[in-house]
Chain A
Amino acid sequence: MLAKVKSFSLIGLAGFPVDIEVDINAGVPAIDMVGMPDVAVKEAKNRVKSAIANSGLLYPIKRITVNFAPADLRKEGTLFDLPLALAILCASQQVPPSPLGEFVLIGELSLDGSLRHVNGMTPLLISGMQAGYTKFIIPASNAAEASFVEGLEVYAAKDLLSVVNFLSGAAPLQRVAHSEYNPTAGKGLYGFDFADVHGQAVAKRALEIAVAGGHNVLMIGPPGAGKTMLAKCVLSIMPDMTFDEAVEVTKIHSVAGLLDADKGIVSLRPFRSPHHSATVPSLVGGDRKAKPGEVSLAHLGVLFLDEVPEYNRRALEALRQPMEDGVVTVSRIAQTVEYPANFMLIGSMNPCPCGNYGSKVNACTCTPVQIHNYINRLSGPLLDRIDIQIEVDNITYGEFAQAVPAESSADIRERVVKVRELQRERYKGLPMLTNSEMSNREIKKYCPLDKECEQLLELAFHKLGLSARASYRILRVARTIADIEGSERIAVNHLSEAIQYRSLDRKYWS
């Protein structure tokens, strides 16, 4: 007898429906699988056999043929265990074909018949919904994740037997209740607050500007200056994620298997700090399974590269395309997968290999060539995408501590949110959200300079030895500073401040 069950599979973040057809005939007892199953799918037959038997059901001792349709796409993963088991049970008349045909089934089976967690549930459900399916049966451990997808009838089951009982009408199954997304649920959970950072006034101000305008930042300073601490604080001044943003991030983390199963959604912006031995695939995504890389895991959050020059040159160059496009394209043999990768890059580095360059007392033991080579490991095109360069120092602030207490992250975030709002209004209808995304044409339109500003910029180039490519970056940052100060036009003081955030461009460095 023939049975047919629906399931879903993923390519990247996009799902596609998979029909699992089972035919049971007389013959030598065996199970044949066709339709491009990968190893994990082929192994399902052993798990399914044990799970059915251990659930007190009957595994047919006959010739079983399984087809995964469409047959031309590769099927991966363990999520076909549950639909396969039910197709076999249906074909052997232990489960009625209706209402089984109405449901999309997703789940991995354990040998004792219990259902195990599946990665990628959020994108699976969302693409299932987009394809017009509304009824799903999933593992109970995925229930929290499923609760945030509205408009679906999702049933979460603990084991195979409860699914069989539910479908044959013997016992009800608990329907997953919808949970409301609460963006403030994670408030204060970042654990780092600018109020706890003493001194570093310049760095704090620069980071506020960076977050407000979506600019990437490079921090230059000796080891122990607090670069990592500052970077971690950045999350706490970023605006809360909207529901759509949270879902986008959740999809990626779900596919990567990094999602907290109890929470079910990522409500905190991610902070990723890959080690400097990171390879190209680990950063941008890839390997055999086209998994999302660090740039995608940092989507809508912060990608922190500590000691940037220590990273593999090729790995750094690979960051350029996602930084430019906000998405990363991962190509494999069979298909091309696209993951979003819209992150804020924060890099940190020493001023020179020995760390003493520019120190007042310690002599720098690096030769100019060494310093030059060290700085040059950051290629021009990469530096072109980093608008703000600041110096972070490790002096003791006890000597000149200010009476004014440090501002808390919450206060800074209020300003940031306002400026982000302003930019959203300004770039309405354009495919951009922040000042950092302005191209040359938009800079001409939104950053007009009066005569005084033009002269200032001209003078800065000559006197400070700024490189020509610095000008657009200075203008983008000046635009953000003007926005923070609530000014329609870029004024001299905005431009003068922006000039201070170009440490590495100055000729006298090395």
Chain B
Amino acid sequence: MYSSSQRGYLWLSLTPKMTPLRRRRLLEYEPDPGRLMQDFEACRDDVVSLVGEETYEELLHTILSRKVDREIEALQAMGAVALTPADDDFPSGLLDLDQPPVALYCKGDLSLLLGRNLAVVGTRAITRYGRDVTQNMVADLVTHGFCIVSGLARGVDTVAHRTALSYDKLTIGVLPCGLDKVYPAENKDLYEQIAAKGLLVSEYPLGTTVQQYTFVERNRIIAALAMGVLVTEAGEHSGAGITVNHALEQSRDVFVVPGNIYSKASVGTNNMLKSMQGALVTTAYDILEYYHVAVDQGPACDLQLDIVETQIMEALEEGDRHIEELMALTQMNVSTLTPILTKLELMGLVKKLTGNYFGK
């Protein structure tokens, strides 16, 4: 059951044209929106002077059309809940925001909101470098107890979520639309997996479609839900920059992975590092160390590699190698070398990359 003030917050959330400014004015006038909702028509003149005639009508219409009840029913039907500032478990980070959301619609494991969360964000146009960095860092972070917060967008977000799930670890997805919408559409399976194993959150009521501004607003929630933000790859105009600014405003930690200075896909991250040298991280262990997390070395390595395998692994230490380089190095031909590479690949030591390249 939702209390009167919870319903009041939902009322504000569900009313169109409620800009953050109007919301704040109303909440300053009456801190408990539940009470305002109950004798709304009595306060007509005050409300009109605060937010205008039109918004007053909208607010009134939301009450009269019983929108709040219908939203609550729809949420229950899909197994979701709405948290409001009136709830005890409303994430405290969100209240510190300049423009705090009046509701957080959640589907999944609510306890994750209180866990050790780290946001991983970055470009949508991910390159192989960004993919490798994101995969490797997220793997180390989730195995050391961090829960990954990200935005379910293409590129870094998707890789971060998927990597966390592939290790059977939890992850929080912050949507730029209502919980009943999936964006981008190809991430439908990811959306369902996170809803089942992790947590999906959104500040927008059901049915809200993505708008340009929702992506921007969503980023402040990503930053607020996490103790720090890790940017793995970002181009010049990446939305990750917005998330980082929010993180700085909310005094969250920022970690940035440097990139190739010639790569357009890394201009954003490299520029961030110019102004925040302290944010530079090159491995997940930098972050673990910062948070004083004991590093789990894992079981001792007892893999027995023969001479050729060792030779290959040493060559790959220095960077990705083309198969012909490895052939020249080992003096082997394709038919003798590929079985060895398959073996190393299955042992998880080598990765087959596109274009006949192999890497670690």
Using a CB–CB distance below 8 Å, which chain A residues touch chain B? 199, 201-202, 204-205, 221, 351, 357-365, 367-369, 372, 391, 393, 395, 397, 399-400, 402, 456, 459-460, 463-464, 481, 484-485, 492-494, 496-497, 499-500, 503, 506, 509
Contacts and interface: CB of A to CB of B under 8 A. Distances in A.
Contacts of A500: 338, 341-342, 352
B125 A496 contact: no
A497 B348 contact: no
B160 to A, nearest CB: 15
A463 B346 CA distance: 6
Given A360-B320, A368-B184, A456-B346, 19 more contacts: A201-B323, A201-B333, A202-B338, A204-B334, A351-B354, A363-B126, A363-B127, A363-B265, A367-B154, A367-B184, A393-B322, A399-B325, A400-B328, A460-B342, A460-B346, A464-B345, A492-B339, A496-B342, A506-B352
Contacts of A367: 154, 184, 186
Contact of A496 (B185, B343, B352): B343
A493 B235 CA distance: 43
A203 to B, nearest CB: 9
Contacts of A362: 127
A492 B265 CA distance: 41
Nearest to A491: B339
Interface in B314-360: 320, 322-325, 327-328, 333-336, 338-343, 345-346, 348, 352-357
- Closest CB pairs A-B (n = 8): A358-B354, A496-B339, A496-B342, A493-B339, A205-B334, A393-B355, A497-B338, A500-B338
A498 B335 CA distance: 10
A463 B341 CA distance: 14
Contacts of A503: 354
A131 B141 CA distance: 81
| Main DSSP-derived SS at the B contact region | helix
B263 interface: yes
B125 A363 contact: yes
B356 A358 contact: no
Contacts of A402: 324, 327-328
Given A364-B127, A367-B154, A400-B324, A202 B342 contact: no
B264 A363 contact: yes
Nearest to A393: B355
Contacts of A357: 354
Given A363-B127, A368-B186, A500-B341, A205 B324 contact: no
Contacts of B345: 463-464
23 contacts: A201-B324, A358-B355, A359-B355, A360-B129, A360-B355, A361-B260, A363-B126, A363-B264, A365-B125, A368-B184, A369-B185, A391-B354, A393-B322, A395-B322, A400-B328, A464-B346, A481-B335, A493-B336, A496-B338, A496-B343, A497-B338, A499-B342, A503-B354
B348 A463 contact: yes
Nearest to A199: B324
Contact of B356 (A202, A400, A464): A202
B291 interface: no
A361 B333 contact: no
Contact of A391 (B126, B324, B356): B356
Interface of B: 125-129, 154, 158, 184-186, 235, 260, 262-265, 320, 322-325, 327-328, 333-336, 338-343, 345-346, 348, 352-357
Contact of B154 (A204, A368, A481, A496): A368
Contacts of B325: 399-400
Contact of A358 (B262, B339, B343, B353): B353
Nearest to A365: B125
A185 to B, nearest CB: 33
A202 B326 CA distance: 12
A465 to B, nearest CB: 10
Contacts of B263: 361, 363
Nearest to B260: A361
A405 B279 CA distance: 51
A58 B130 CA distance: 88
A223 B301 CA distance: 42
A485 B338 CA distance: 14
Contacts of A361: 127, 260, 262-263
A506 B324 CA distance: 22
B324 A359 contact: no
A359 B325 CA distance: 18
A358 B338 contact: no
A308 to B, nearest CB: 18
A400 B184 contact: no
Contacts of B158: 368
A199 B333 CA distance: 12
Contact of A372 (B186, B322, B343, B355): B186
A201 B327 contact: yes
Contacts of B354: 351, 357-359, 391, 503, 509
Nearest to B235: A363
A361 B352 CA distance: 17
Contacts of B357: 360, 393
A363 B131 CA distance: 12
A195 to B, nearest CB: 16
A351 B128 CA distance: 14
Pick from A199, A363, A369, A485 the residue with the most CB of B within 10 Å.
A363
B218 to A, nearest CB: 19
B237 to A, nearest CB: 13
Contact of A497 (B126, B154, B342): B342
A358 B327 CA distance: 22
Contacts of B342: 460, 496-497, 499-500
Nearest to A394: B355
Pick from B260, B340, B356 the residue with the most CB of A within 10 Å.
B356
Contacts of A368: 154, 158, 184, 186
A397 B324 contact: yes
Nearest to B135: A508
Given A456-B346, A464-B345, A202 B334 contact: yes
Contacts of A463: 345-346, 348
A480 B305 CA distance: 28
B266 to A, nearest CB: 10
Nearest to B264: A363
A452 to B, nearest CB: 11
Contact of B355 (A221, A492, A509): A221
Contacts of B327: 201, 402
Contacts of A360: 128-129, 320, 355, 357
B308 to A, nearest CB: 13
A41 B126 CA distance: 66
B359 to A, nearest CB: 10
B327 to A, nearest CB: 6
B46 to A, nearest CB: 49
A500 B264 CA distance: 32
Nearest to A198: B324
Pick from B125, B260, B342, B357 the residue with the most CB of A within 10 Å.
B342
A326 to B, nearest CB: 29
B195 to A, nearest CB: 20
Contacts of B341: 500
Contacts of B186: 367-369, 372
Given A201-B323, A367-B154, A400-B324, A393 B127 contact: no
